[in-house]
Homo-oligomer: A and B are copies of this chain.
């Protein structure tokens, strides 16, 4: 056993979160793609079976009340709240991240002081945020200003209505300064909208503490909600009364079953709803969140940084000089829970790595992406991934 393998073993033995791995369905694959699709918590299939056979099959329509279907969006939102540092009553679950970006960006322009016509958008954003923000801008008479997050403070001004930023860059794994940038946005009198897809469940977000205005995120990455599970929308309590949704569907009505022709928005998080909640996916997500019982996000963050540090160390030790370049920052304050490595022949390399049982993913054209989910990834996984990556890179090209 090499020195790094011994260290991995010792780190795993000392890891207080290590037993959580047993809560998930995993095999001997090293699964480093939980930042794309989280692994299956073992107990979810049995829960869904009950939802299907008893709640839908036997109770049918009664389940909207008796099985708590109707209130699921806010109930599950309140389960996500502590993970992202929000008090209860501010998060609603439903729709896709893209749809929630639309709600948030349009609503942000309506919360902003009148006469401001610019929306700053992270120039390196996950594309959907940019596409949707562009549509929101077109429909509200604003213009999009693409700007690297570091340059946001300089780009802010009296024309800025809102800024749409990613907490962690999906490609590089760079963690952006949510407290500092939010404060800068506020100093300019604008509204801060954060996309938490790549941070929620991996590190502390502190939505309330940092006075974020609006936020969105998906639940199928570090929250393990299942493929395409519903996203969520956070509207800070102080903005709820003025939150003016561009998608005022019937379930966000103050009295939805009155079915009145005129729209009157509900108070609170409910106002962020649109249509009928997607129950099967939503309740799979709710069950998945059970793995968080008793788990603090600070402990998750500590393990995440230890894991990515160790992986980077193993890569440096094993991989032939010059074959890969980390694009994820070395500084902890700037690192999310993934390691992205630039690699000239990334596509065949990732293919060969997956064939050897290490599942990461590729961001075209040249980024190998390794996501570390602290709930189920261990240090031996990190060592093995780096070792097999080195093997692949040492092999003659196909």
Chain A residues with a Cβ under 8 A of chain B: 25, 27, 31, 33, 36-37, 39-40, 44-45, 48-49, 52-53, 55-58, 60-64, 69, 95-99, 102, 106, 123, 125-128, 130-132, 134-135, 139-140, 146, 171, 218, 220, 226-231, 245-251, 253, 256-261, 263, 274-282, 284, 359, 361, 363-364
Contacts and interface: CB of A to CB of B under 8 A. Distances in A.
A28 to B, nearest CB: 12
B61 A36 contact: yes
Given A60-B37, A227-B63, A278-B96, A132 B259 contact: no
Given A102-B247, A247-B132, A248-B135, A127 B253 contact: yes
Contacts of A140: 139
Given A228-B280, A279-B227, A249 B131 contact: yes
A228 B279 contact: yes
Given A127-B253, A261-B123, A281-B280, A274 B96 contact: yes
Copies of this protein chain in the complex: 2
Contacts of A106: 139
A248 B132 contact: yes
Given A52-B45, A61-B359, A95-B99, A246 B139 contact: yes
Contact of A131 (B49, B96, B130, B250): B250
B135 A246 contact: yes
A258 B263 CA distance: 40
Contacts of A249: 96, 98-99, 128, 131-132
